[in-house]
Amino acid sequence: MFDKLKLKFILINMSLLTTVFISIFGTIYFMTNSSLNRDINETLHSLMVTNHKPKPNYSNIIVDVDDNGLITKSFISFNLSIDYDYLQDIVSNILKEKNNSDKIIINDEPYIFLKKSDSPFSKIVLLNVSYQENLKSSLLKIFLFVGTISLIVLLIISIYLTNKSIKPIKLVFEKQKQFIADASHELKTPLTIIKTNTSLILSNPDDTIKNQSKWINYINLQTDRMSELVTEMLSLAKLDSENNNLVFTKINISKIIESMILQFDAIIFENNITLNTNISKDIFINGDKESIKKLFSIIMDNAIKHTSNNGEIHINLYSEKNTLRLSIKNTGLGIPSEHLEKIFERFYRVDTSRVRDTGGYGLGLSIAKSIVEQHKGKIYAQSTLNKDTTFFIELPIKF
Protein backbone atom coordinates (compact mmCIF):
# COMPACT_ATOMS: atom_id res chain seq x y z
CA MET A 1 0.00 0.00 0.00
CA PHE A 2 2.74 2.45 0.98
CA ASP A 3 4.85 1.51 -2.07
CA LYS A 4 1.91 2.46 -4.32
CA LEU A 5 1.38 5.68 -2.36
CA LYS A 6 5.08 6.51 -2.61
CA LEU A 7 5.08 5.82 -6.37
CA LYS A 8 1.99 7.99 -6.78
CA PHE A 9 3.62 10.90 -4.91
CA ILE A 10 6.79 10.61 -7.00
CA LEU A 11 4.85 10.47 -10.28
CA ILE A 12 2.78 13.52 -9.32
CA ASN A 13 5.90 15.45 -8.25
CA MET A 14 7.84 14.58 -11.40
CA SER A 15 4.84 15.33 -13.65
CA LEU A 16 4.47 18.77 -12.09
CA LEU A 17 8.22 19.46 -12.27
CA THR A 18 8.40 18.28 -15.90
CA THR A 19 5.46 20.53 -16.79
CA VAL A 20 7.16 23.48 -15.08
CA PHE A 21 10.47 22.85 -16.88
CA ILE A 22 8.77 22.46 -20.27
CA SER A 23 6.81 25.66 -19.67
CA ILE A 24 9.89 27.66 -18.62
CA PHE A 25 12.29 26.32 -21.26
CA GLY A 26 9.58 26.36 -23.93
CA THR A 27 8.79 30.01 -23.19
CA ILE A 28 12.48 30.99 -23.29
CA TYR A 29 13.01 29.08 -26.56
CA PHE A 30 9.90 30.57 -28.14
CA MET A 31 10.88 34.11 -27.14
CA THR A 32 14.47 33.61 -28.38
CA ASN A 33 13.26 32.14 -31.68
CA SER A 34 10.80 35.00 -32.16
CA SER A 35 13.51 37.56 -31.43
CA LEU A 36 15.92 35.94 -33.91
CA ASN A 37 13.25 35.70 -36.62
CA ARG A 38 12.32 39.31 -36.07
CA ASP A 39 15.97 40.36 -36.36
CA ILE A 40 16.37 38.31 -39.56
CA ASN A 41 13.26 39.85 -41.06
CA GLU A 42 14.40 43.36 -40.21
CA THR A 43 17.84 42.67 -41.69
CA LEU A 44 16.35 41.31 -44.93
CA HIS A 45 14.13 44.34 -45.41
CA SER A 46 17.00 46.64 -44.54
CA LEU A 47 19.19 45.02 -47.20
CA MET A 48 16.34 45.32 -49.67
CA VAL A 49 16.43 49.12 -49.45
CA THR A 50 20.15 49.83 -48.97
CA ASN A 51 20.79 50.37 -52.66
CA HIS A 52 22.80 47.20 -53.23
CA LYS A 53 25.24 47.94 -50.43
CA PRO A 54 25.87 44.81 -48.35
CA LYS A 55 25.28 45.27 -44.66
CA PRO A 56 28.63 45.11 -42.77
CA ASN A 57 29.44 41.94 -40.77
CA TYR A 58 26.65 39.97 -42.42
CA SER A 59 27.02 37.15 -44.88
CA ASN A 60 24.55 38.09 -47.53
CA ILE A 61 23.89 38.10 -51.24
CA ILE A 62 21.95 40.75 -53.15
CA VAL A 63 21.09 40.29 -56.81
CA ASP A 64 19.10 42.14 -59.47
CA VAL A 65 17.33 39.97 -62.01
CA ASP A 66 15.79 40.91 -65.37
CA ASP A 67 12.51 39.63 -66.82
CA ASN A 68 14.30 36.59 -68.24
CA GLY A 69 15.51 35.55 -64.82
CA LEU A 70 19.13 36.42 -65.53
CA ILE A 71 21.32 38.15 -62.97
CA THR A 72 22.16 41.68 -64.01
CA LYS A 73 23.90 42.77 -60.84
CA SER A 74 25.13 40.92 -57.77
CA PHE A 75 26.63 41.96 -54.45
CA ILE A 76 28.22 39.21 -52.37
CA SER A 77 29.71 39.56 -48.89
CA PHE A 78 33.49 39.45 -48.85
CA ASN A 79 33.52 36.22 -46.79
CA LEU A 80 31.43 34.29 -49.32
CA SER A 81 32.62 32.49 -52.43
CA ILE A 82 29.89 31.37 -54.83
CA ASP A 83 30.21 30.35 -58.47
CA TYR A 84 28.19 32.51 -60.85
CA ASP A 85 26.43 29.56 -62.52
CA TYR A 86 25.57 28.08 -59.11
CA LEU A 87 24.19 31.45 -58.03
CA GLN A 88 22.14 31.66 -61.25
CA ASP A 89 20.61 28.25 -60.51
CA ILE A 90 19.72 29.39 -57.00
CA VAL A 91 18.09 32.56 -58.32
CA SER A 92 16.11 30.56 -60.89
CA ASN A 93 14.78 28.28 -58.16
CA ILE A 94 13.85 31.24 -55.95
CA LEU A 95 11.93 32.89 -58.79
CA LYS A 96 9.87 29.71 -59.12
CA GLU A 97 8.92 29.83 -55.43
CA LYS A 98 5.42 31.05 -54.64
CA ASN A 99 6.51 32.51 -51.32
CA ASN A 100 8.33 35.81 -51.29
CA SER A 101 10.42 34.64 -48.34
CA ASP A 102 11.57 31.17 -47.29
CA LYS A 103 14.55 29.09 -46.22
CA ILE A 104 17.00 27.49 -48.68
CA ILE A 105 20.37 25.72 -48.47
CA ILE A 106 23.45 27.18 -50.18
CA ASN A 107 26.76 25.34 -49.89
CA ASP A 108 25.29 23.27 -47.04
CA GLU A 109 24.45 26.39 -45.07
CA PRO A 110 20.99 27.78 -44.28
CA TYR A 111 19.85 31.03 -45.90
CA ILE A 112 16.68 33.06 -45.81
CA PHE A 113 15.70 34.80 -49.05
CA LEU A 114 13.44 37.77 -49.68
CA LYS A 115 12.39 38.61 -53.22
CA LYS A 116 10.68 41.69 -54.59
CA SER A 117 9.30 41.90 -58.14
CA ASP A 118 9.32 45.37 -59.68
CA SER A 119 9.06 45.12 -63.51
CA PRO A 120 11.25 45.10 -65.52
CA PHE A 121 13.62 43.96 -62.74
CA SER A 122 13.38 41.82 -59.63
CA LYS A 123 15.50 42.02 -56.53
CA ILE A 124 16.50 39.09 -54.32
CA VAL A 125 18.22 39.28 -50.93
CA LEU A 126 19.73 36.18 -49.30
CA LEU A 127 20.89 36.20 -45.70
CA ASN A 128 23.07 33.52 -44.13
CA VAL A 129 21.37 32.39 -40.91
CA SER A 130 23.89 29.75 -39.79
CA TYR A 131 24.61 31.66 -36.60
CA GLN A 132 20.92 31.93 -35.69
CA GLU A 133 20.25 28.26 -36.48
CA ASN A 134 23.30 27.14 -34.50
CA LEU A 135 22.22 29.35 -31.61
CA LYS A 136 18.75 27.80 -31.56
CA SER A 137 20.21 24.30 -31.85
CA SER A 138 22.68 24.95 -29.02
CA LEU A 139 19.95 26.47 -26.88
CA LEU A 140 17.74 23.42 -27.44
CA LYS A 141 20.60 21.05 -26.55
CA ILE A 142 21.38 23.05 -23.41
CA PHE A 143 17.74 22.98 -22.36
CA LEU A 144 17.53 19.23 -22.96
CA PHE A 145 20.77 18.60 -21.05
CA VAL A 146 19.99 20.92 -18.14
CA GLY A 147 16.39 19.72 -18.01
CA THR A 148 17.38 16.04 -18.00
CA ILE A 149 20.08 16.49 -15.34
CA SER A 150 17.75 18.66 -13.25
CA LEU A 151 14.93 16.13 -13.46
CA ILE A 152 17.29 13.29 -12.47
CA VAL A 153 18.53 15.29 -9.47
CA LEU A 154 14.99 16.29 -8.56
CA LEU A 155 13.87 12.67 -8.93
CA ILE A 156 16.49 11.62 -6.38
CA ILE A 157 15.44 14.46 -4.07
CA SER A 158 11.78 13.61 -4.62
CA ILE A 159 12.38 9.94 -3.72
CA TYR A 160 14.28 10.99 -0.59
CA LEU A 161 11.65 13.51 0.52
CA THR A 162 8.80 11.11 -0.30
CA ASN A 163 10.42 8.37 1.79
CA LYS A 164 10.97 10.86 4.59
CA SER A 165 7.38 12.13 4.38
CA ILE A 166 5.79 8.69 4.23
CA LYS A 167 7.97 7.22 6.98
CA PRO A 168 6.06 8.88 9.89
CA ILE A 169 2.72 8.07 8.21
CA LYS A 170 3.80 4.45 7.82
CA LEU A 171 5.03 4.39 11.41
CA VAL A 172 1.72 5.76 12.71
CA PHE A 173 -0.22 3.27 10.58
CA GLU A 174 1.88 0.36 11.82
CA LYS A 175 1.54 1.54 15.42
CA GLN A 176 -2.23 1.81 15.03
CA LYS A 177 -2.34 -1.64 13.46
CA GLN A 178 -0.21 -3.04 16.27
CA PHE A 179 -2.31 -1.15 18.83
CA ILE A 180 -5.51 -2.75 17.53
CA ALA A 181 -3.88 -6.19 17.45
CA ASP A 182 -2.57 -5.79 21.00
CA ALA A 183 -5.88 -4.43 22.28
CA SER A 184 -7.72 -7.36 20.69
CA HIS A 185 -5.29 -9.76 22.30
CA GLU A 186 -5.66 -8.12 25.72
CA LEU A 187 -9.46 -8.20 25.48
CA LYS A 188 -9.51 -11.79 24.30
CA THR A 189 -8.32 -13.24 27.63
CA PRO A 190 -10.88 -11.55 29.94
CA LEU A 191 -13.66 -12.18 27.42
CA THR A 192 -12.75 -15.86 27.30
CA ILE A 193 -12.76 -16.03 31.10
CA ILE A 194 -16.11 -14.23 31.27
CA LYS A 195 -17.60 -16.55 28.65
CA THR A 196 -16.30 -19.65 30.44
CA ASN A 197 -17.61 -18.57 33.83
CA THR A 198 -20.94 -17.54 32.33
CA SER A 199 -21.26 -21.01 30.78
CA LEU A 200 -20.53 -22.57 34.18
CA ILE A 201 -23.25 -20.48 35.80
CA LEU A 202 -25.75 -21.33 33.06
CA SER A 203 -24.93 -25.02 33.35
CA ASN A 204 -26.18 -24.96 36.96
CA PRO A 205 -29.40 -22.92 36.74
CA ASP A 206 -30.76 -24.27 40.03
CA ASP A 207 -27.77 -23.15 42.14
CA THR A 208 -28.08 -20.10 44.36
CA ILE A 209 -26.08 -16.93 43.78
CA LYS A 210 -24.07 -17.77 46.89
CA ASN A 211 -23.02 -21.12 45.45
CA GLN A 212 -22.13 -19.45 42.14
CA SER A 213 -20.34 -16.48 43.76
CA LYS A 214 -16.92 -17.83 42.78
CA TRP A 215 -17.74 -17.64 39.07
CA ILE A 216 -19.51 -14.29 39.49
CA ASN A 217 -16.44 -12.83 41.23
CA TYR A 218 -14.25 -14.02 38.35
CA ILE A 219 -16.58 -12.30 35.90
CA ASN A 220 -16.57 -9.12 37.99
CA LEU A 221 -12.76 -9.14 38.18
CA GLN A 222 -12.37 -9.49 34.42
CA THR A 223 -14.98 -6.79 33.84
CA ASP A 224 -12.93 -4.44 36.01
CA ARG A 225 -9.80 -5.31 34.03
CA MET A 226 -11.53 -4.60 30.74
CA SER A 227 -12.89 -1.34 32.13
CA GLU A 228 -9.36 -0.35 33.13
CA LEU A 229 -8.04 -1.23 29.67
CA VAL A 230 -10.77 0.74 27.87
CA THR A 231 -10.19 3.74 30.17
CA GLU A 232 -6.46 3.74 29.41
CA MET A 233 -7.07 3.34 25.68
CA LEU A 234 -9.49 6.28 25.73
CA SER A 235 -6.92 8.36 27.62
CA LEU A 236 -4.32 7.64 24.95
CA ALA A 237 -6.76 8.39 22.14
CA LYS A 238 -7.68 11.68 23.80
CA LEU A 239 -4.04 12.71 24.22
CA ASP A 240 -3.26 11.76 20.61
CA SER A 241 -6.12 13.81 19.19
CA GLU A 242 -5.70 17.47 18.30
CA ASN A 243 -8.76 18.35 20.36
CA ASN A 244 -7.46 16.94 23.66
CA ASN A 245 -9.13 19.63 25.81
CA LEU A 246 -5.96 20.24 27.85
CA VAL A 247 -6.12 23.55 29.72
CA PHE A 248 -2.69 25.11 30.22
CA THR A 249 -2.41 27.47 33.18
CA LYS A 250 0.25 28.55 35.64
CA ILE A 251 0.39 25.74 38.23
CA ASN A 252 2.47 25.13 41.35
CA ILE A 253 3.83 21.67 40.60
CA SER A 254 5.59 21.49 43.98
CA LYS A 255 2.26 21.61 45.82
CA ILE A 256 0.64 19.19 43.37
CA ILE A 257 3.32 16.54 43.93
CA GLU A 258 3.32 17.04 47.71
CA SER A 259 -0.46 16.51 47.80
CA MET A 260 -0.21 13.49 45.47
CA ILE A 261 2.42 11.86 47.70
CA LEU A 262 -0.03 11.93 50.61
CA GLN A 263 -2.47 9.83 48.57
CA PHE A 264 0.14 7.05 48.33
CA ASP A 265 1.04 7.02 52.05
CA ALA A 266 -1.26 4.10 52.91
CA ILE A 267 -0.10 1.79 50.10
CA ILE A 268 3.53 2.72 50.77
CA PHE A 269 3.07 1.81 54.43
CA GLU A 270 1.34 -1.48 53.56
CA ASN A 271 4.24 -2.51 51.33
CA ASN A 272 6.90 -1.59 53.92
CA ILE A 273 8.46 0.89 51.52
CA THR A 274 10.68 3.71 52.75
CA LEU A 275 9.90 7.00 51.00
CA ASN A 276 12.51 9.77 50.72
CA THR A 277 11.53 13.11 49.19
CA ASN A 278 13.38 16.27 48.26
CA ILE A 279 10.81 18.69 46.84
CA SER A 280 11.86 22.26 46.06
CA LYS A 281 9.20 24.79 47.03
CA ASP A 282 7.05 26.83 44.67
CA ILE A 283 8.14 25.61 41.26
CA PHE A 284 5.66 26.85 38.67
CA ILE A 285 5.11 25.63 35.12
CA ASN A 286 2.59 26.27 32.36
CA GLY A 287 0.65 23.02 32.22
CA ASP A 288 -2.59 21.12 32.50
CA LYS A 289 -3.16 20.37 36.19
CA GLU A 290 -5.13 17.13 35.76
CA SER A 291 -2.62 15.75 33.24
CA ILE A 292 0.30 16.50 35.56
CA LYS A 293 -1.51 14.70 38.38
CA LYS A 294 -2.09 11.68 36.14
CA LEU A 295 1.55 11.73 35.03
CA PHE A 296 2.88 11.64 38.59
CA SER A 297 0.30 9.03 39.59
CA ILE A 298 1.37 6.71 36.74
CA ILE A 299 5.10 6.95 37.53
CA MET A 300 4.53 6.67 41.28
CA ASP A 301 2.19 3.69 40.89
CA ASN A 302 4.76 2.03 38.62
CA ALA A 303 7.51 2.62 41.20
CA ILE A 304 5.45 1.14 44.05
CA LYS A 305 4.51 -1.96 42.02
CA HIS A 306 8.12 -2.67 41.14
CA THR A 307 9.80 -1.82 44.45
CA SER A 308 11.31 -4.79 46.24
CA ASN A 309 10.19 -5.82 49.72
CA ASN A 310 11.39 -3.34 52.34
CA GLY A 311 12.68 -1.27 49.43
CA GLU A 312 12.98 2.48 48.95
CA ILE A 313 11.52 5.17 46.72
CA HIS A 314 13.32 8.49 46.25
CA ILE A 315 11.53 11.53 44.79
CA ASN A 316 13.47 14.65 43.77
CA LEU A 317 12.00 17.82 42.31
CA TYR A 318 14.00 20.92 41.45
CA SER A 319 14.45 23.52 38.71
CA GLU A 320 17.57 24.17 36.67
CA LYS A 321 18.09 26.55 33.74
CA ASN A 322 14.38 27.16 33.11
CA THR A 323 13.72 23.43 33.24
CA LEU A 324 11.76 21.44 35.81
CA ARG A 325 13.50 18.20 36.71
CA LEU A 326 11.63 15.39 38.45
CA SER A 327 13.16 12.01 39.25
CA ILE A 328 11.49 9.01 40.88
CA LYS A 329 13.81 6.14 41.81
CA ASN A 330 12.79 2.79 43.24
CA THR A 331 14.88 -0.16 44.37
CA GLY A 332 14.09 -3.47 42.74
CA LEU A 333 14.98 -5.89 39.98
CA GLY A 334 15.65 -3.14 37.47
CA ILE A 335 15.09 -3.11 33.71
CA PRO A 336 17.50 -4.66 31.16
CA SER A 337 19.17 -2.00 29.00
CA GLU A 338 17.68 -3.39 25.77
CA HIS A 339 14.18 -2.71 27.12
CA LEU A 340 14.71 0.86 28.38
CA GLU A 341 13.82 2.60 25.11
CA LYS A 342 10.83 0.32 24.49
CA ILE A 343 9.05 0.59 27.85
CA PHE A 344 7.18 3.69 26.66
CA GLU A 345 5.66 1.82 23.70
CA ARG A 346 2.02 0.84 23.92
CA PHE A 347 1.33 -2.60 25.42
CA TYR A 348 5.05 -3.17 25.91
CA ARG A 349 5.92 -5.19 29.00
CA VAL A 350 9.36 -6.34 30.08
CA ASP A 351 8.01 -9.35 31.99
CA THR A 352 4.45 -10.32 31.10
CA SER A 353 4.12 -12.85 33.92
CA ARG A 354 5.16 -10.30 36.47
CA VAL A 355 2.80 -7.70 35.04
CA ARG A 356 -0.07 -10.15 35.30
CA ASP A 357 0.65 -10.33 39.03
CA THR A 358 0.95 -6.59 39.52
CA GLY A 359 -1.85 -5.66 37.09
CA GLY A 360 -1.72 -3.28 34.15
CA TYR A 361 -1.64 -3.60 30.38
CA GLY A 362 1.55 -1.76 29.49
CA LEU A 363 -0.29 1.45 28.62
CA GLY A 364 0.57 3.55 31.67
CA LEU A 365 4.04 4.64 30.55
CA SER A 366 2.71 5.33 27.05
CA ILE A 367 0.14 7.69 28.58
CA ALA A 368 2.88 9.29 30.69
CA LYS A 369 5.02 9.86 27.60
CA SER A 370 2.07 11.41 25.72
CA ILE A 371 1.39 13.80 28.62
CA VAL A 372 5.06 14.84 28.75
CA GLU A 373 5.12 15.40 24.97
CA GLN A 374 1.96 17.52 25.18
CA HIS A 375 3.91 19.70 27.64
CA LYS A 376 6.92 19.87 25.26
CA GLY A 377 9.04 17.90 27.70
CA LYS A 378 11.11 14.75 27.84
CA ILE A 379 10.82 11.49 29.80
CA TYR A 380 13.36 8.67 29.98
CA ALA A 381 14.55 5.94 32.33
CA GLN A 382 17.83 4.62 33.67
CA SER A 383 18.22 1.30 35.44
CA THR A 384 20.78 -0.95 37.10
CA LEU A 385 19.82 -4.61 37.19
CA ASN A 386 19.02 -5.99 40.65
CA LYS A 387 19.49 -2.54 42.13
CA ASP A 388 17.18 0.30 41.07
CA THR A 389 15.26 2.09 38.32
CA THR A 390 14.93 5.86 37.91
CA PHE A 391 12.43 7.74 35.77
CA PHE A 392 13.43 11.28 34.76
CA ILE A 393 10.93 13.91 33.65
CA GLU A 394 12.00 17.29 32.26
CA LEU A 395 9.46 20.03 31.55
CA PRO A 396 10.11 23.59 30.33
CA ILE A 397 9.39 26.43 32.75
CA LYS A 398 7.75 29.09 30.59
CA PHE A 399 4.64 31.22 30.71
In this predicted model, what pLDDT tens digit does every residue of 153-163 receive, in sequence order? Answer: 999 998 888 88
pLDDT for position 356: 45
With residue 155 as reference, give the H or E element that holds it. helix 130-202
Three-state secondary structure call for residue 349: coil
pLDDT for position 53: 57
Q: Between residues 396 and 227, which one has the greater pLDDT?
A: 396
Instruction: Please say whether the beta carbons of 374 and 244 come within 8 A.
Output: yes
Segment 27-48, tens digit of pLDDT: 999 999 999 999 888 888 888 8
Tell me whether residue 310 is in a domain. yes
Q: Between residues 268 and 74, which one has the greater pLDDT?
A: 268
Instruction: Please say whether the beta carbons of 395 and 324 come within 8 A.
Output: yes
Band of residue 5 on the pLDDT scale cut at 50, 70, 90: confident
Q: Looking at 107, 128, 149, which one is the last position of a domain?
A: 128
Residue 23's φ and ψ, nearest 5 degrees, are -65, -45
Band of residue 350 on the pLDDT scale cut at 50, 70, 90: low
Instruction: Please say whether the beta carbons of 391 and 334 come within 8 A.
Output: no
Query: What average pLDDT score do residues 196-218 get?
Result: 84
Band of residue 244 on the pLDDT scale cut at 50, 70, 90: low
Tell me whether residue 5 is in a domain. no
Percent of the chain whose pLDDT exceeds 90 = 34
Tell me whether residue 89 is in a domain. yes
Segment 229-239, tens digit of pLDDT: 777 777 777 77
Its pTM surpasses 0.85 = no
Tell me whether residue 222 is in a domain. no
pLDDT for position 292: 93
How many folded domains does the chain comprise? 2
Tell me whether residue 384 is in a domain. yes
Residue 301, judged by CB atoms within 10 A of its CB (0-12, 13-18, 19+), counts as middle
Tell me whether residue 116 is in a domain. yes
Band of residue 354 on the pLDDT scale cut at 50, 70, 90: very low
- Would you put residue 334 in left (φ > 0), alpha (ψ -120 to 50) or beta? left
Query: What average pLDDT score do residues 187-194 get?
Result: 80
User: Average pLDDT over the chain, rounded to whole?
Assistant: 85
Residues 392 and 253 in one domain: yes
pLDDT for position 51: 56
Tell me whether residue 111 is in a domain. yes
**Residue span of the structural domain in which 108 resides:** 60-128
Q: Looking at 71, 96, 128, which one is the last position of a domain?
A: 128
For the cut 60, the answer to whether the pLDDT of residue 359 exceeds it is: no
Q: Between residues 347 and 218, which one has the greater pLDDT?
A: 218
Helices and strands: H and E segment counts in the chain: 9, 12
Segment 53-68, tens digit of pLDDT: 555 556 788 888 888 8
Q: Between residues 238 and 74, which one has the greater pLDDT?
A: 74
pLDDT for position 289: 93
CA 282 and chain centroid, separation: 42
Three-state secondary structure call for residue 241: coil
Instruction: Please say whether the beta carbons of 239 and 367 come within 8 A.
Output: yes
Q: Looking at 128, 150, 173, which one is the last position of a domain?
A: 128
Tell me whether residue 345 is in a domain. yes
Residue 285's φ and ψ, nearest 5 degrees, are -135, 165
Percent of the chain whose pLDDT exceeds 70 = 90
Residue 382, judged by CB atoms within 10 A of its CB (0-12, 13-18, 19+), counts as middle
pLDDT for position 57: 53
Looking up residue 258, the CATH number of its domain turns out to be: 3.30.565.10
Segment 86-100, tens digit of pLDDT: 899 998 998 888 889
Looking up residue 111, the CATH number of its domain turns out to be: 3.30.450.60
pLDDT for position 252: 94
Q: Is the dihedral of CA 235, 238, 241, 242 positive or negative?
A: negative
